[in-house]
Amino acid sequence: MPIKIKLIMSNIAMVIISVVLSAMFMALIGNHFTKKIEISYNLDTQKRNDMFGNPYLQLKAINMKNFNEIKLAISRNPDLLKNNNYLIGLNQLFKKGNSFIVVREGNNIIFQGQDGISDLINKLPEFNFNMSDRGSGVIVDNNDLIIKQMDFLYKDNTQGTVFIITDTSYFYKIVREYLVFSIVSLIIVISAISGIFTFFTSRSIIKPLDSLKIGTKKIKDGDLDFEVKATSGDEIGELCVAFDDMRKKLKESIEVQAQYENNRKELISNISHDLKTPITSIKGYVEGIKDGVPDTPEKMNKYINTIYSKAISMDKLIDELFLYSKLDLNKITYDFEVVNIVPYLSDIVEEFQFDLEKKNIDIEFLNEAGKTAKVLIDRQKINRVMTNIIGNSIKYMDKPNGKIKVKLSKSDNDVMVNVKDNGKGIPKDDIPFIFDRFYRADSSRNTVTGGSGLGLAICMKIIEEHNGKIWADSSEDHGASITFILKEVI
């Protein structure tokens, strides 16, 4: 999932969960504070839903049960409101709800349920019987008081008024506490949810970045034997995959470079050995001539022919080494053309026949591909391949009646060329290495019988440049078989 989508979804989930949890906390907190107000003001729990929706309307209904009792007393015996003991008991009921009563007869206050309210008494409204018909009036004083007024007539038609005065300061104190507690709770909930989502979201980003940081340090220290695993499919995960691919490529490059260095050292060693041997031999023969060892024309001729043979061997080695170097560095151009390989191979075999008759070696061409088998090749380079393979068969021929068979066949869209002889063959353990440069099954590295050790390596390079394959199949004393395949041009 892309990081952008992940962040958007994380923010949406954070908002939704914060709202849901906040609503739950608000409900719990509201229920707690509602109970406190109900207990403090003796409210009717059935009207709780109005509490925080409209606290003022709820307070207007405070002590409604006791208020109705006063109305009932007025309707039955209004003179009860002159009875001090009754008023004291009634006032005690109202005190349970943070309220008290004041009773007025005419213009005189005959009962006050709380001391120290002289200023309030002077502000109480006049008698208003019409208001009494409506049940009650409400006066909100500037001292956080709600005053309910009930006007009536005593039995002697004297005007009477009952004032129910409620102190709302505690109510609003609880409301303020509720608001403060709610805001603090919302901040805590939102901060906690935000922190949790931020932690898990950032962890999915920071953790792989830490792995990349550790990986870069290891690469800096030359350690490439580790792995950076992608833990997600987002851009960070793709970066981890790309980083690990880079590490693998770098490791492969270093290993290839190390192999090149080893090959270079081995190449120098092999060149030194293969050049030193004939040079030493030439040097020995020249010194012999200087010392007058060949004292007859026949011996002198033998020495000169040997020196010439060694020089030819060195020249050939240098030519093959130069050719292999250019092949290895891809500095040789190829002149590809579509060729019918049937007559092409037939001509090559025919060229070898004349020379091989003198060595008592029979070479034949077996065509199983029909009249036409077209391939895209460089004529000169494939000729070099055939020359090297057949040349190896000649060098390692140990039978008095040698035989070399060149067979051409087809398989699917491939053209297969096989060169098989009845010579000494190749030991099984040497077969995997015969296409390596300077490798010879003959550990003595005899250049007379074993050649330069570059022939088959050159063949492999050329065939690979033709997008083909080459391999060997042989066993000691049963001859060698070298096969290469090329793609047929349809």
pLDDT of residue 364: 93
Torsion angle in degrees (nearest 10) through CA of 297, 301, 304, 309: -170
CATH code for the part of the protein at 55-167: 3.30.450.160
Residues 6+ apart with CB under 8 A from 350: 365
Question: What number of other Cβ atoms are within 10 A of residue 218's Cβ?
Answer: 15
pLDDT of residue 54: 47
pLDDT of residue 132: 42
pLDDT of residue 4: 64
The answer to whether the CB of 356 falls within 8 A of the CB of 362 is yes
Long-range own/partner contacts, residues 391-395 (CB < 8 A, 24 or more apart): 391/451, 391/455, 392/451, 392/455, 392/456, 392/480, 392/482, 393/419, 393/421, 393/423, 393/480, 394/356, 394/359, 394/361, 395/449, 395/450, 395/451
Question: What number of other Cβ atoms are within 10 A of residue 191's Cβ?
Answer: 11
Structure-token match 């995959």, residue found: 241
CATH code for the part of the protein at 224-316: 1.10.287.130
Q: In angstroms, rounded to a whole number, what is the distance separating the alpha carbons of residues 459 and 327?
A: 10
Residues 6+ apart with CB under 8 A from 115: none
What is each CA distance from 423 to 136, 392, 432, 456, 474, in whole angstroms?
132, 10, 19, 17, 10
pLDDT of residue 468: 94
Evaluated on CA atoms 14, 20, 21, 22, the torsion sign reads: positive
Q: Where are the domains of the chain?
A: 55-167, 224-316, 333-487
Q: In angstroms, rounded to a whole number, what is the distance separating the alpha carbons of residues 79 and 102?
A: 15
Kind and range of the H or E run holding 435:
none
SS3 217: helix
pLDDT of residue 175: 75
Q: Of 424, 322, 336, 330, whose CA–CA distance to 380 is shortest?
A: 336
Q: Of 379, 388, 377, whose CA–CA distance to 457 is shortest?
A: 388
- CATH top-level class of 333-487: alpha beta
Tens place of pLDDT per residue across the chain (490 aa): 566 666 677 677 777 877 777 777 677 766 766 666 666 555 554 544 444 444 444 555 555 667 777 888 888 888 988 999 999 988 888 887 778 899 999 889 999 988 888 888 888 888 876 544 444 444 544 556 778 888 889 998 899 999 888 877 777 777 777 788 778 877 887 788 777 777 776 666 777 777 778 888 888 888 878 777 766 666 677 787 887 888 888 888 888 788 767 766 766 676 676 677 778 888 888 988 888 888 888 888 988 988 888 888 788 777 777 777 777 777 778 899 999 999 999 999 999 988 888 889 999 999 999 899 999 999 999 998 999 899 888 888 888 889 999 999 998 889 999 999 988 888 888 888 888 766 655 544 444 444 556 788 889 989 999 999 999 988 767 789 999 999 999 8
Which residues lie across from 112 on neighbouring strands?
A: 102
SS3 142: coil
Evaluated on CA atoms 451, 453, 456, 461, the torsion sign reads: negative
Residue 142: phi and psi, rounded to 5, are: -75, 5
Tell me how long the chain is: 490
